[in-house]
Structure 1
């Protein structure tokens, strides 16, 4: 907790913690807004002022970008591709405190890259599994009983993914996964051939798909999103490798993003029966499934093979019926 002191005989003190909590980037205007919140001071001041500066510039303390009485404020009109810094000051009359902790907001383009785990290049014993509750109906895993690894091994199965980022920057990786118990809750993760870290995945319940951020956390550490592994990525193509840790751990969907404010509620999944990928299961998906009825081949190669068993048949119609009318990611 930061303490601010005025040069006055009353010893009136201020304390606040300055926190960046939310941002949004309107697409049409190409300008951003950022909402900032901080702890209230005790005793209460007359109000608070927020100051901003662009990277490489100094604060102009004669021109606050916001002044008010609350402990939450939104600053509008931020230019695209500019790094901004913010501090808050409390005031009584014409006297102000010192600066709060400074926070940075990099107003670049927000990127979110979706990858279906079963679309990767697989090395056995990593294989594709089918589950109607998984995104697009499939996932990857090393089946239970295959064996577990404490350290990365060339004998371990893996899935390798190729992806492109539009601009250089810091990125984090989310995964929708199932970790049924402490014996099936880890993968090894590497980007562009860097040293592999062990990702102790979040336990979400028996058979429950759970979003978790890739983190180099200890096995006994809290398995939340407070300390994600950050990857610096240049604009262009990259490789992500998910390697076998403990058998039985399942991976459904991967989301790679430079938006550190992205939360689980912002992540969604593509419904298995949304075979035309328009975001809703409806008559159009039914028509496409009907036209493919009776086809067979490698599991997952036909979009209408909803349960990824290699056949388009009555089982796929049954899943579509159960999901009919629901919506998900396009």
Structure 2
């Protein structure tokens, strides 16, 4: 009886952690607008997008210098609550964020963005949990602070407190729309 319970508990935890996962390499965008650019770096998964560091770099947080962005089209297989994660490298406290827009092109005071306080290394940053319908969506990663870099991003139905990426993830081209 105990063995059966353990198997069920382990399987349940695994299925919670697996769920639906949509993984995108940032250089596989549908469109890109300056100052967003693609850069090659072997410490990333090969290439990544970035908002170049502007010099002199600000010593305090300020608004974006432009609307540079990359857009991605995805096909969400089933409706649900999707947690956004991004594998990022931040320059410093004034170069550590991107706006995340879903099916929108205008940044407003309610536009979510990702940020944290881990600098100078590639790491996963939790973003917003978003209710997505099944079907096609346009994801826009947009300039929020200069010096910010992003290697991959993903949506998962696994809850943030149940699963967190720890290394680069395998891209899922079946969900990408060309």
With the length of structure 1 as denominator, give the TM-score of the two structures: 0.41
Question: Which protein, 1 or 2, shows the higher relative CO under an 8 Å CA cutoff with sep ≥ 6?
Answer: 2
- Name 1:110's counterpart in structure 2: 19
Is the CA contact (8 Å cut-off) linking 1:152 and 1:188 kept in structure 2? Answer: no
Of residues 133, 137, 142, the one that matches 1:234 is 133
Q: In the comparison of the two structures, how many residue pairs are matched?
A: 152
Measured at CA, do residues 117 and 240 of structure 1 come closer, stay the same or move farther in structure 2, by a change above 3 Å?
A: same
Measured at CA, do residues 151 and 210 of structure 1 come closer, stay the same or move farther in structure 2, by a change above 3 Å?
A: same
Of residues 161, 165, 173, the one that matches 1:264 is 165
CA RMSD of aligned residues (A): 2.8
Question: What is the CA–CA distance in structure 1 between the aligned matches of 2:114 and 2:137, rounded to whole Å?
Answer: 23
Aligned positions of 1:181-330 closer than 5 A: 181-193=92-104, 196=107, 197-206=111-120, 208-214=121-127, 229-260=128-159, 261-265=162-166, 267-269=167-169
Is the CA contact (8 Å cut-off) linking 1:152 and 1:243 kept in structure 2? Answer: no
Is the CA contact (8 Å cut-off) linking 2:38 and 2:50 kept in structure 1? Answer: yes
How far off is 1:264 after superposition?
2.8
- Name 2:49's counterpart in structure 1: 140
Question: What is the CA–CA distance in structure 2 between the aligned matches of 1:152 and 1:182, rounded to whole Å?
Answer: 14
SS of the residue corresponding to residue 27 of structure 2 reads helix
Of residues 142, 152, 170, the one that matches 2:81 is 170
Q: Which has the larger radius of gyration?
A: 1
Question: What is the CA–CA distance in structure 1 between the aligned matches of 2:105 and 2:131, rounded to whole Å?
Answer: 12
Is the CA contact (8 Å cut-off) linking 1:186 and 1:198 kept in structure 2? Answer: no
Partner deviation per Cα, 1:65-92 (whole Å, 9 max, x = no partner):
xxxxxxxxxxxxxxx9xxxxxxxxxxxx
Structure 2 gaps, min length 5: 1-8, 171-178
Is the CA contact (8 Å cut-off) linking 1:189 and 1:198 kept in structure 2? Answer: yes
Question: What is the CA–CA distance in structure 2 between the aligned matches of 1:232 and 1:245, rounded to whole Å?
Answer: 23
